[in-house]
Amino acid sequence: MNITNKNLSSMKTLKLLILSGLCLVAATLGATDTEQIRVEFFTGSVISAQEKAISEQKQYFLEFYADWCKPCKWMDENTYSNSNLAEYINDNYIAVKVDIDDFDGHALKQKYNVAYLPTIIVFDEQGNILGKHEKSMNASKLLKTLKGHRTSIATVNPTKTNTVKNDRAAKNSKTADRKSSTRPASYTSHEGSQLYSIQVGVYKNANNVFNQVERLKYKFDAPVQVINHKDPSKGIVMYRIVVGKFYSHRAAEEYLKTVKSNGVDGFVKDITGLKTEN
């Protein structure tokens, strides 16, 4: 009789263990099925992010961060892991992370005068800054902030992509006229041994260079070229994008005004003796 009771007790214990194991498996599967939505950060260039925002009728924002930034890590673990926030961002924004320790990121840091991490800069689809937020935010605060910027501008025109294409076609049809009106007279005449150009960016990512060159070729009639320079100490290649060739510093300065009037930052650079590629 005692043996029977022990057997029954062992069987009950075994059943409890099996049930516990099944419950654990079910809980694990359930957690997998209800896995939290994460923010889909765009991995391309900022220019590509803007183009994607236009095509998808969204806005975009940049989050400046660094691997050593503890508030940035806190936002990754707590803010961006919020499903409600992630769903809203994925539906309405193109989100881009910018590492300030990266070469391109450092240039963007200087361009937008980022002095605090994390910093979030929100743009409309045309690249206009809607807000700059130099602090870490929890999910509810960031959601409120992004909703505020999303509703603070007019709804994106559904035919925006077509409008861009039509504008491009119209621009191409006027190429000849623009060449005669925007290109400085000294552009085609040799005035000395020095050669100048307008430097508009330095990159280490070849894909970013390609995207920027194509964009600039659309904006300007002057040739857009790339100067390759290998840094011996770091063993990496730097790509400098320059616009135009001028045989006087004054002519380059005059064209710099045209470059800046088109929303592109730059400065006059002496490129005498440097090898350029189209």
Q: What is the pLDDT of residue 85?
A: 94
User: What's the rounded Cα separation, in Å, for the pair 198 and 158?
Assistant: 36
What integer is the mean pLDDT of 212-217?
Answer: 78
pTM of the model: 0.47
The tens digit of pLDDT for each residue in 155-200 reads 333 333 444 444 544 444 444 444 333 444 333 334 446 888 999 8
CATH 3.30.1330.20 assigned to domain 186-277? The reply is no
pLDDT band at 276 (very low <50, low <70, confident <90, very high): low
User: What's the rounded Cα separation, in Å, for the pair 96 and 76?
Assistant: 13
Across all residues in the chain, what is the average pLDDT? 76
User: What's the rounded Cα separation, in Å, for the pair 164 and 170?
Assistant: 10
Q: What is the pLDDT of residue 29?
A: 52
Domain 41-151: CATH architecture, name and number where available: 3-Layer(aba) Sandwich (3.40)
For the cut 90, the answer to whether the pLDDT of residue 248 exceeds it is no
The tens digit of pLDDT for each residue in 32-64 reads 444 678 899 999 888 889 889 888 889 999 999
Each domain of the chain, given as residue ranges in start order, spans 41-151, 186-277
For the cut 70, the answer to whether the pLDDT of residue 10 exceeds it is no
Domains 41-151 and 186-277 agree in fold: no
Strand partners of residue 94: 60
Which tokens go with 89? 């961002």
- Closest alpha carbon to 198 in 134, 275, 253: 253
pLDDT band at 14 (very low <50, low <70, confident <90, very high): low
